[in-house]
Structure 1
């Protein structure tokens, strides 16, 4: 009976050892170096800031689509590409100007683009304005609002005279155009206006409608009737200004996109999940989360009961907490928020809460679907040309993966024991097999020795 138990124990430990070894060998953790490489590529000058509506944005769409194919993701509802229409700021012919005109329309002062003034990208429903003092509707400090021909224009002095910040594009803004001006430029314009001169400004952008694309794939689960896990990130950014300065968007959000692509390899290495995992690469987040909005308008019913993890700005090299971002309707006691916070605590990841509708979790929450955005909320270079891959750090990528991978295994693989503890199981089972074999060998020697003594005694 004892031998039977020992043999059974060895057989069991061999199975455990074999399975855990397979998981150890085949699970491919997210590679921070590969993520950083992809961030550098997507934020390179080649793609000129990935502005929706531009050729470069379409090029990135194809790159992500081909990656989905290579990683054997299935096209969601039969197509990787989900088309939707947007208004976008289209570059048109002409050179920008901000100048002072006398009563005969002669130019007496011309300001320098990028030095004295620059467009903010919020809207271009109008792109040309000439005004006098009578057109100033509101003046506050070094900023003023112009009203002419039933259109409104804002000239404002940005904080610290910084003309490099570029706002997201919002075609539904009530203002027709926004122009940033230096403090000195504002003072001079006021003086010229008081003297009766006219100010004329032209920015060669206009609102134009086009079709752009989200890229949606999925990993088929064992039970497609279960609510899915959605993993997502936006890939668009803010393009270039009129001098050709590129807003690369390395942290925002080549980082989240590259992190998402890295997760695909990791998930594929785990085997077949228990439920579908949707991988969504959204466009036009910088236009007001329009890509995720279009996705939800189409598929909200299929996503009910699911969970969403969105990645926006992952990889800051600054020592800041990981941000768990919920919507304005959430609190730290919201179920899914609390769940992610507990995973942070378990992994000893420092974190903080933010509750804003400022990323693609917004529309999921509007449809009452559990969703969080994980983010390194480092705003020091965001929406500026300085947002480059040289400021990306591996440690922030690794800590986000710790939390994300735990949630993936928990929700999509039902806390698969071998996935969670394959290393420990392999070690313990291997040690167990060795100990049992040594015990069996020792016991066999003792039995042989005892048998030999009995034989000698009986011969005597």
Structure 2
């Protein structure tokens, strides 16, 4: 009887042990894999990875093949692709924008002084002696008691507005969100609002500090072919930027008579001011309709396979454009071969780990550089139920001079993803901080924004403030150099002998660790009270 009981206990112990799942294996995201894929995707072979080009064909097929090699399943039924129908508008503006008034006229020179585009799918658009009206920041925000368009019929008029919002450098945290840019400060919002008001056109005044990039970014980003997704929303005839120097010339010739237009724009109760000037400019367009691709791959879960963690990164850049120092290929090594390579490296790590309870999705989206188009299309046509999508971890433009002590979270304070990030950062002996440059509006400038808009808590973060081996000033100098000299320029290239990837690897490891934790529990991270995205989730 004693021997029988011993055998029974052993059998029961073995049976119980076999019922238990093995704990998840915490594998290392490979720095070699990261470097290999950045080098390939940022090579001239991929022609700058612009949608609707041979570079897109090469890029999306490369990603599909690499996901397939890793053993990931197609993420959209039996396909690795989600079609994203777009229109390519190649606009040729007139060489001059003419500003005229009672005291004469002067010309602004294309690219040097202004850029002009349109989202109207027509062959010819123009502003013909359209009345110029200064509309402050171009904002209608009832929750802040703000309306820069109030009291004027905007038909036949062109608004002139400042970039960013009234809180920028105001020194007052009660003005909008203080120095943190709201969506009202983004150029995308400003064009949308002017169209809703019925204006013919909008001119945004460029200023490097509140825009967070120089005029060279405007030149490269707002010239040549542009992509849009057609919809039924109102559109302007002309969307334009002018340089700050050109704006000064305009205001000096206007009815403002030397008033400080920046100061008066900050005052609550500002009303639009006719400038007693007119603007004329024409754009001739070539129209091409085609289909771009989001690339979608899936690792199915086990117990909770109908719940999803989505990793996202945009694969696109600017293709071949204006030559700078003899180089016309905009390779986009940091922006965003780094994030796209990160998707592949994290997918490889999950395949080396134990199966997860929840499913893991990898989406390389198109058209981010054209206005977050691929993620916007996915948000309108989600493959995976947003209510069952646990979280989004977005990867964009990873770059650092080494391993970072910090993890800077863009959009800190919105959701419990902050807590997941903090837990993972602490285990790496790092600390988390909010975005130290919130005035630059990075929260609205990458694809996590579109996931957040449909209620999916999102993490968008990177080490970018203080290094283990580099102090705060050294890291800032490194980041400033990239922003001034490489951001959206042909010089954003990859050199395997000089590019430091240890910090990129550390960030990607953290993203993997956060996803691994989420994928093996049954909890859904929540939006915090006060976040504008909470209502969409609920």
TM-score interval, smaller chain: 0.5 to 0.7
Report whether the alignment pairs 1:336 with 2:417: yes
Question: 1:154 and 1:216, CA in 2 relative to 1: closer, same or farther beyond 3 A?
Answer: same
* Long gaps (5+) in structure 1: 1-7, 13-19, 103-107, 415-460
Instruction: Give the drift of 1:67.
Output: 1.2
* Long gaps (5+) in structure 2: 1-9, 15-21, 138-157, 161-193, 256-275, 465-478, 522-538
Match of 2:80 in 1: 80
74-83 or 34-43: bigger deviation: 34-43
Report whether the alignment pairs 1:117 with 2:113: yes
Report whether the alignment pairs 1:291 with 2:291: no
Question: 1:353 and 1:407, CA in 2 relative to 1: closer, same or farther beyond 3 A?
Answer: same
Q: Deviations over 1:57-80 (max 9, x none)?
A: 233111111111221211122211
Rounded Cα–Cα distance in structure 2 between residues aligned with 1:205 and 1:383: 27
User: Over aligned residue pairs, what C-alpha RMSD do you find?
Assistant: 4.5
Instruction: Give the drift of 1:200.
Output: 5.8
**TM-score under structure 2 length normalisation:** 0.57
Q: How many residues align?
A: 378
SS at structure 2 position matched to 1:65: helix
Question: 1:383 and 1:118, CA in 2 relative to 1: closer, same or farther beyond 3 A?
Answer: farther
Alignment counterpart, residue 398 of structure 2, candidates 314, 317, 328:
314
Match of 1:281 in 2: 364
Question: 1:173 and 1:164, CA in 2 relative to 1: closer, same or farther beyond 3 A?
Answer: farther
Q: Deviations over 1:18-68 (max 9, x none)?
A: xx9xx99xx973232432342233233444433333332233111111111
Report whether the alignment pairs 1:65 with 2:64: yes
Residues 134-145 of structure 1 mapped to structure 2, 5 A cutoff: 135-138=131-134, 145=159
Alignment counterpart, residue 366 of structure 1, candidates 448, 453, 459:
453
Structure with more helix by fraction: 1
Alignment counterpart, residue 237 of structure 2, candidates 172, 176, 181:
176
Q: Is the 8 A contact 1:50 1:60 kept in 2?
A: yes
Q: Is the 8 A contact 1:98 1:199 kept in 2?
A: no
Rounded Cα–Cα distance in structure 2 between residues aligned with 1:140 and 1:359: 26
Question: 1:137 and 1:225, CA in 2 relative to 1: closer, same or farther beyond 3 A?
Answer: same
Report whether the alignment pairs 1:163 with 2:215: yes
Match of 1:98 in 2: 96
Rounded Cα–Cα distance in structure 2 between residues aligned with 1:235 and 1:216: 12
Rounded Cα–Cα distance in structure 1 between residues aligned with 2:235 and 2:456: 30
Alignment counterpart, residue 237 of structure 1, candidates 317, 322, 344:
317
Rounded Cα–Cα distance in structure 1 between residues aligned with 2:79 and 2:502: 35
Q: Is the 8 A contact 2:314 2:339 kept in 1?
A: yes
Match of 1:452 in 2: none
SS at structure 2 position matched to 1:264: helix
Match of 1:324 in 2: 409
Question: 1:121 and 1:387, CA in 2 relative to 1: closer, same or farther beyond 3 A?
Answer: farther
Match of 2:293 in 1: 213
Instruction: Give the drift of 1:395.
Output: 2.6
Question: 1:162 and 1:130, CA in 2 relative to 1: closer, same or farther beyond 3 A?
Answer: same
Q: Deviations over 1:135-162 (max 9, x none)?
A: 3333889xx8489x97314264543894
Structure with bigger gyration radius: 1
Instruction: Give the drift of 1:120.
Output: 6.2
**TM-score under structure 1 length normalisation:** 0.66
Rounded Cα–Cα distance in structure 1 between residues aligned with 2:29 and 2:299: 17
